[in-house]
Amino acid sequence: MPATLTTTRYGPMLVPPYDIYLAQAMIRLGEYAPAEFETWRPYIGAGATVVDVGANIGCHTLPFAHAVGPSGRVIAVEPQFMLFAMLCGSLAMNGLQQARAHWCAMGADAGVVIVPPVDYTAQGNFGGLELSDQRKGESVPRVTLDALALDRLDFLKVDVEGMELDVLQGGAQTISRLRPVIAVEADREPKVPALLDWLVQREYRLWWHRPPLGPFWPNIVSINLLALPTGRAGLPDPQGDVQPVQ
Protein backbone atom coordinates (compact mmCIF):
# COMPACT_ATOMS: atom_id res chain seq x y z
CA MET A 1 0.00 0.00 0.00
CA PRO A 2 1.87 3.12 -1.19
CA ALA A 3 -0.56 5.54 0.48
CA THR A 4 -2.73 5.63 3.59
CA LEU A 5 -5.06 8.21 5.07
CA THR A 6 -4.25 9.71 8.46
CA THR A 7 -5.61 12.50 10.63
CA THR A 8 -3.28 15.41 11.39
CA ARG A 9 -3.37 18.73 13.17
CA TYR A 10 -4.09 20.37 9.82
CA GLY A 11 -6.70 17.94 8.54
CA PRO A 12 -6.73 14.57 6.77
CA MET A 13 -3.61 13.70 4.80
CA LEU A 14 -2.50 10.99 2.43
CA VAL A 15 0.91 9.69 3.47
CA PRO A 16 3.29 6.90 2.37
CA PRO A 17 3.15 4.61 5.43
CA TYR A 18 6.65 3.21 4.94
CA ASP A 19 8.37 6.60 5.10
CA ILE A 20 10.39 6.49 8.31
CA TYR A 21 10.36 10.20 9.19
CA LEU A 22 7.81 12.54 7.61
CA ALA A 23 4.94 10.07 7.27
CA GLN A 24 5.54 8.46 10.65
CA ALA A 25 5.53 11.89 12.27
CA MET A 26 2.18 12.69 10.67
CA ILE A 27 0.71 9.29 11.62
CA ARG A 28 2.02 9.19 15.19
CA LEU A 29 2.08 12.90 16.11
CA GLY A 30 -0.21 14.60 13.63
CA GLU A 31 2.54 17.06 12.63
CA TYR A 32 6.16 17.11 11.51
CA ALA A 33 8.98 19.10 13.16
CA PRO A 34 6.52 21.61 14.67
CA ALA A 35 9.38 23.82 15.93
CA GLU A 36 10.20 24.63 12.30
CA PHE A 37 6.77 25.99 11.50
CA GLU A 38 6.42 27.82 14.82
CA THR A 39 9.66 29.69 14.08
CA TRP A 40 8.44 30.61 10.59
CA ARG A 41 4.87 31.45 11.61
CA PRO A 42 5.46 35.17 12.49
CA TYR A 43 6.46 35.82 8.87
CA ILE A 44 3.38 34.20 7.29
CA GLY A 45 0.23 36.23 7.72
CA ALA A 46 -3.21 36.17 6.17
CA GLY A 47 -3.01 37.04 2.49
CA ALA A 48 0.68 36.14 2.20
CA THR A 49 2.29 34.31 -0.71
CA VAL A 50 4.46 31.30 0.16
CA VAL A 51 6.53 29.09 -2.13
CA ASP A 52 7.30 25.62 -0.74
CA VAL A 53 10.13 24.05 -2.77
CA GLY A 54 10.55 20.39 -1.93
CA ALA A 55 7.05 20.11 -0.54
CA ASN A 56 7.05 16.31 -0.31
CA ILE A 57 3.61 15.16 0.96
CA GLY A 58 2.72 18.60 2.29
CA CYS A 59 3.84 18.46 5.92
CA HIS A 60 4.44 22.21 5.72
CA THR A 61 2.25 23.00 2.70
CA LEU A 62 -0.93 22.39 4.68
CA PRO A 63 0.05 24.62 7.63
CA PHE A 64 1.24 27.26 5.17
CA ALA A 65 -2.15 27.18 3.48
CA HIS A 66 -4.01 27.52 6.77
CA ALA A 67 -1.73 30.41 7.79
CA VAL A 68 -2.22 32.46 4.60
CA GLY A 69 -5.95 31.80 4.56
CA PRO A 70 -8.33 32.00 1.59
CA SER A 71 -6.91 35.37 0.52
CA GLY A 72 -3.35 34.05 0.38
CA ARG A 73 -1.43 31.83 -1.99
CA VAL A 74 0.79 28.78 -1.57
CA ILE A 75 2.81 27.30 -4.44
CA ALA A 76 4.15 23.82 -3.64
CA VAL A 77 6.81 22.14 -5.79
CA GLU A 78 7.45 18.39 -5.64
CA PRO A 79 9.18 16.20 -8.28
CA GLN A 80 8.41 12.71 -6.89
CA PHE A 81 5.14 11.85 -8.60
CA MET A 82 3.71 9.58 -5.90
CA LEU A 83 4.37 12.19 -3.22
CA PHE A 84 3.02 14.93 -5.49
CA ALA A 85 -0.16 12.89 -6.01
CA MET A 86 -0.61 12.45 -2.26
CA LEU A 87 -0.05 16.18 -1.76
CA CYS A 88 -2.74 16.99 -4.33
CA GLY A 89 -5.15 14.60 -2.64
CA SER A 90 -4.55 16.17 0.76
CA LEU A 91 -5.09 19.69 -0.57
CA ALA A 92 -8.33 18.60 -2.22
CA MET A 93 -9.65 16.79 0.85
CA ASN A 94 -9.06 19.89 2.96
CA GLY A 95 -10.53 22.29 0.41
CA LEU A 96 -7.36 24.39 0.35
CA GLN A 97 -8.02 26.22 -2.90
CA GLN A 98 -5.38 28.82 -2.04
CA ALA A 99 -2.66 26.17 -2.58
CA ARG A 100 -1.40 24.81 -5.90
CA ALA A 101 0.94 21.86 -6.32
CA HIS A 102 3.35 21.62 -9.25
CA TRP A 103 4.90 18.36 -10.43
CA CYS A 104 8.40 19.60 -11.18
CA ALA A 105 11.76 20.41 -9.65
CA MET A 106 13.30 23.85 -9.21
CA GLY A 107 16.85 24.78 -10.06
CA ALA A 108 19.22 27.38 -11.41
CA ASP A 109 17.87 27.03 -14.96
CA ALA A 110 15.13 25.35 -16.94
CA GLY A 111 15.58 21.78 -18.08
CA VAL A 112 14.86 18.33 -16.73
CA VAL A 113 15.88 16.29 -13.73
CA ILE A 114 15.95 12.52 -13.40
CA VAL A 115 13.97 11.18 -10.47
CA PRO A 116 15.30 7.70 -9.66
CA PRO A 117 12.92 4.79 -9.03
CA VAL A 118 11.66 4.55 -5.45
CA ASP A 119 9.91 1.56 -3.89
CA TYR A 120 7.24 3.21 -1.76
CA THR A 121 6.15 -0.21 -0.45
CA ALA A 122 9.47 -0.65 1.39
CA GLN A 123 10.76 1.37 4.33
CA GLY A 124 12.79 4.42 3.38
CA ASN A 125 13.42 8.11 3.88
CA PHE A 126 11.45 9.42 0.92
CA GLY A 127 12.17 13.01 1.89
CA GLY A 128 15.92 12.41 1.56
CA LEU A 129 16.02 11.60 -2.15
CA GLU A 130 18.88 13.36 -3.96
CA LEU A 131 18.32 14.30 -7.59
CA SER A 132 21.73 15.61 -8.61
CA ASP A 133 23.73 13.41 -10.99
CA GLN A 134 21.01 10.78 -11.44
CA ARG A 135 21.27 8.75 -14.64
CA LYS A 136 18.27 6.38 -14.52
CA GLY A 137 14.67 7.17 -13.75
CA GLU A 138 11.82 9.45 -14.77
CA SER A 139 12.43 12.74 -16.55
CA VAL A 140 10.67 15.59 -14.72
CA PRO A 141 10.64 19.27 -15.73
CA ARG A 142 12.98 21.64 -13.92
CA VAL A 143 11.82 25.24 -13.69
CA THR A 144 13.15 28.37 -12.04
CA LEU A 145 11.56 30.49 -9.35
CA ASP A 146 11.98 33.52 -11.61
CA ALA A 147 9.87 31.82 -14.28
CA LEU A 148 6.84 32.02 -11.98
CA ALA A 149 6.89 35.81 -12.47
CA LEU A 150 5.41 36.40 -9.02
CA ASP A 151 4.15 39.83 -8.03
CA ARG A 152 4.35 38.95 -4.33
CA LEU A 153 6.47 36.56 -2.28
CA ASP A 154 6.51 36.79 1.50
CA PHE A 155 8.12 33.48 2.45
CA LEU A 156 10.28 30.98 0.56
CA LYS A 157 11.02 27.51 1.96
CA VAL A 158 13.65 25.40 0.18
CA ASP A 159 14.41 21.79 1.15
CA VAL A 160 15.89 19.98 -1.83
CA GLU A 161 18.67 17.74 -0.52
CA GLY A 162 21.76 19.74 -1.40
CA MET A 163 20.40 21.72 -4.35
CA GLU A 164 19.23 24.68 -2.28
CA LEU A 165 21.69 27.15 -3.78
CA ASP A 166 20.57 26.18 -7.29
CA VAL A 167 16.99 27.10 -6.39
CA LEU A 168 18.08 30.46 -4.98
CA GLN A 169 20.18 31.21 -8.05
CA GLY A 170 17.21 30.46 -10.27
CA GLY A 171 15.19 32.95 -8.25
CA ALA A 172 17.78 35.70 -7.93
CA GLN A 173 15.65 38.32 -9.68
CA THR A 174 12.53 37.43 -7.71
CA ILE A 175 14.44 37.47 -4.41
CA SER A 176 16.03 40.82 -5.22
CA ARG A 177 12.70 42.32 -6.28
CA LEU A 178 10.33 40.94 -3.61
CA ARG A 179 12.69 40.34 -0.65
CA PRO A 180 11.03 37.28 0.91
CA VAL A 181 11.98 35.73 4.22
CA ILE A 182 13.85 32.53 3.32
CA ALA A 183 14.07 29.23 5.21
CA VAL A 184 16.58 26.91 3.61
CA GLU A 185 17.93 23.52 4.61
CA ALA A 186 21.71 23.64 5.10
CA ASP A 187 22.81 20.19 6.21
CA ARG A 188 25.42 19.51 3.48
CA GLU A 189 28.49 20.97 5.19
CA PRO A 190 30.67 21.38 2.07
CA LYS A 191 27.92 23.45 0.43
CA VAL A 192 27.18 25.73 3.38
CA PRO A 193 29.87 28.41 2.77
CA ALA A 194 28.59 29.15 -0.75
CA LEU A 195 25.01 29.28 0.54
CA LEU A 196 25.95 31.70 3.32
CA ASP A 197 27.94 33.88 0.95
CA TRP A 198 25.08 34.08 -1.56
CA LEU A 199 22.61 35.23 1.08
CA VAL A 200 24.99 37.69 2.73
CA GLN A 201 25.80 39.27 -0.62
CA ARG A 202 22.09 39.93 -1.04
CA GLU A 203 21.90 41.63 2.35
CA TYR A 204 20.15 38.95 4.35
CA ARG A 205 20.61 38.52 8.10
CA LEU A 206 21.07 34.88 9.04
CA TRP A 207 20.23 32.57 11.93
CA TRP A 208 20.87 28.88 12.45
CA HIS A 209 17.82 26.84 13.39
CA ARG A 210 18.30 23.20 14.44
CA PRO A 211 14.89 21.94 15.61
CA PRO A 212 14.35 18.29 16.58
CA LEU A 213 12.27 16.13 14.29
CA GLY A 214 10.11 15.05 17.21
CA PRO A 215 10.03 12.95 20.37
CA PHE A 216 10.56 9.66 18.55
CA TRP A 217 13.92 10.84 17.20
CA PRO A 218 15.49 12.80 20.09
CA ASN A 219 18.96 12.78 18.56
CA ILE A 220 17.98 13.90 15.05
CA VAL A 221 17.62 17.57 14.15
CA SER A 222 16.99 19.52 10.99
CA ILE A 223 19.75 21.98 10.09
CA ASN A 224 18.23 25.09 8.60
CA LEU A 225 19.09 28.69 7.89
CA LEU A 226 16.52 31.42 8.46
CA ALA A 227 17.29 34.50 6.39
CA LEU A 228 15.62 37.87 6.95
CA PRO A 229 16.04 40.60 4.32
CA THR A 230 17.41 43.95 5.40
CA GLY A 231 15.31 46.92 4.35
CA ARG A 232 11.96 45.18 4.77
CA ALA A 233 10.02 46.79 7.61
CA GLY A 234 8.01 44.95 10.24
CA LEU A 235 10.01 41.74 10.44
CA PRO A 236 10.75 40.70 14.03
CA ASP A 237 13.93 38.86 14.85
CA PRO A 238 13.25 35.13 15.19
CA GLN A 239 12.46 33.75 18.63
CA GLY A 240 13.13 30.40 20.22
CA ASP A 241 16.05 28.06 19.68
CA VAL A 242 17.91 30.03 17.01
CA GLN A 243 21.48 31.32 16.90
CA PRO A 244 22.82 34.18 14.77
CA VAL A 245 25.32 33.14 12.14
CA GLN A 246 28.67 34.57 13.09
Nearest one of 59, 73, 81 to 14, comparing CA atoms? 59
In the β-sheet with 111-115, what is the strand arrangement from edge to edge?
105-106, 138-143, 111-115
CA dist 167 and 53 (Å) reads 8
Helix, strand, or coil (residue 125): coil
Please, is 110 exposed, middle or buried when counting C-beta atoms within 10 Å of its C-beta (0-12, 13-18, 19+)? Answer: middle
Nearest one of 28, 49, 38, 98 to 70, comparing CA atoms? 98
What percentage of the chain exceeds 90 in pLDDT? 82
Residues 32-237, CATH architecture: 3-Layer(aba) Sandwich (3.40)
pLDDT of residue 1: 66
pLDDT of residue 219: 86
CA dist 188 and 84 (Å) reads 25
pLDDT of residue 98: 98
Question: In 52-89, which positions are buried (b, 16+ CB within 10 angstroms) versus exposed (e)?
Answer: bbbbbbbbbbbbbbbbbeeebbbbbbbbbebbbbbbbb
pLDDT of residue 246: 78
In this structure, the number of other CB atoms found within 10 A of the CB of residue 223 comes to: 14
Query: Nearest 5°: CA angle at 56, between 132 and 166?
Result: 35
CA dist 10 and 62 (Å) reads 6
Provide the residue-wise pLDDT of the chain in tens; the chain has 246 residues: 689 999 999 999 999 999 999 999 999 999 998 999 999 999 999 999 999 999 999 999 999 999 999 999 999 999 999 999 999 999 999 999 999 999 999 999 999 999 999 999 999 988 888 777 767 889 999 999 999 999 999 999 999 988 999 999 999 999 999 999 999 999 999 999 999 999 999 999 999 999 888 788 888 888 999 999 998 888 999 988 899 997
Question: pTM for the whole thing?
Answer: 0.96
For residue 22, what is the enclosing H or E element? helix 22-28
Q: Tens of pLDDT along 6-44? A: 999 999 999 999 999 999 999 999 999 899 999 999 999
pLDDT of residue 130: 79
